[in-house]
Amino acid sequence: MELSVLPCLDTSNAQEVTSEGRGPSTSRPLLTVFDVPVPPDLRRFGDTVRASALGNPSNPPIVVLGGISANGFPSLTPEGSAGWWSNLIGQGQSIDPRGFYIVGVDFAADDSGTSAPTTAEQARVLAAALDSIGIDRPAAILGASYGAMVGLALAEAEPDRVSRLVIVSAAERPHPTSTAARELQRRVVALGQAAGCGEEALSIARGLAMLTYRTPAEFQERFEGGIADDGVLSGSEPGPIYARGTGFLLSYVPGSLPEPFGLDRPARCRPDEDPGAVSDHRRRKRSACLCRTAPDAGRAAR
């Protein structure tokens, strides 16, 4: 895969934030926010994406990517509040910006909802972000769910950019059951768009995904179940399914679901199928585990 190498941004005008709010600080790691140009042939997903870098650029770089509802601020937001994975990423946590240069990247998306990027295309956007930030050495990638699939795609396409992979809740290819579920989710969204209620359809699709994140035993332990009244369309427990579906609307527009919601295959990682795959002996050694994950680290990653 060819990468469109983009010129580095002028970081003198980049936004700088500390964990105490806006403005530089000598006592706390600095957050720098970048607008990264998207490779020209991928501009159907927007002209730029946001990226962030937290800590000292001389520290070992680590890219942190979450699920499809995550953004480019895993530890600290531009407003100075906690990021989406601050229980794992941050001062005093497993991945501390005093010892790592922590990079986050927004996923590319088509705001019109007419097309969706593949993980290989997201990997190219990630590579462009590393170029723009000025990271010219192999970086570790910690990815959860969709972000892990993007990390696998980058490691397959450009292995010299990746020093280590830490993969959480992701496989090298979709399971047929997952593919079937994602097809139904896409059809729900398409039907909602055609009926003029795309946001409600997207909320339902996300709610269906939440059913795959919990076991039947856990649902039984946490909720009573059943429908409260005789209304056919009345709400039922568990309420959080609806809450997560509605919250997902803050991150995605109907139709912009990434390709892993369908048939995308993030990486070929079995050496018996592809001698050049990521998990040949040399790369397996290089992809040793980076750190021990905190017990509750996966809670915010999806």
Percent of the chain clearing pLDDT 90 (strictly above): 43
What is the full DSSP assignment across the chain?
A: ------PPP-GGGSEEEETTEES--SSSPPEEEEEEEPPGGGGGG-SEEEEEEES-TTSPEEEEE--TT--S-SSB-TTSSB-TTTTTBSTTSSB-TTTSEEEEEPPP--TTSS----HHHHHHHHHHHHHHHT--S-EEEEEETHHHHHHHHHHHH-GGGEEEEEEES--SS--HHHHHHHHHHHHHHHHHHHTT-HHHHHHHHHHHHHHTTS-HHHHHHH---SBSSS-TT--BS-HHHHHHHHHHTTT--TT---GGGTT-------TTT-TTSTTSHHHHHHT---SPPPTTGGGG--
Q: What is the pLDDT of residue 242?
A: 56
Q: What are 297's two structure tokens?
A: 């680290």
Give, to the nearest 10 degrees, the angle between helix 146-157 and helix 119-133: 80
Q: Which residues pair with 236 in a beta bridge?
A: 227
Query: What confidence tens digit (pLDDT) does each residue in 163-206 have?
Result: 999 999 888 777 888 888 888 988 898 898 889 988 888 888 88
Q: What is the dihedral of CA 67, 101, 97, 62, to 10 degrees?
A: 40
- Fold classification of 176-261 is Rna Polymerase Sigma Factor; Chain: A (1.10.1740)
Confidence of residue 98 (pLDDT cuts 50, 70, 90): very high
Q: 176-261: same fold as 11-173+265-295?
A: no
Q: What is the pLDDT of residue 203?
A: 85
Q: Which residue has the higher pLDDT, 97 or 234?
A: 97
Query: What confidence tens digit (pLDDT) does each residue in 125-156 have?
Result: 999 999 999 999 999 999 999 999 999 999 99
Query: Above 50 in pLDDT, residue 91?
Result: yes
Whether a cis peptide bond, with omega within 30° of 0, leads into 271 is no
Q: What is the dihedral of CA 245, 152, 298, 220, to 10 degrees?
A: 60
Candidate ranges 1-15, 17-31, 41-55; pick with highest mean pLDDT: 41-55
Q: Provide the edge-to-edge strand list for the sheet that holds 15-18.
A: 21-22, 15-18, 31-37, 48-54, 101-105, 61-65, 139-144, 162-168
Q: What are 44's two structure tokens?
A: 């159907």
Which sequence spans correspond to the domains of the chain? 11-173+265-295, 176-261
Query: What confidence tens digit (pLDDT) does each residue in 226-256 have?
Result: 766 666 666 555 555 555 555 555 455 454 4
Give domain 11-173+265-295's CATH number out of 3.50.50.60, 3.40.50.12270, 3.30.70.520, 3.30.465.10. Answer: 3.40.50.12270
CA angle 159, 257, 134 (to 5 degrees): 35
pTM score: 0.71
Query: Above 70 in pLDDT, residue 212?
Result: yes
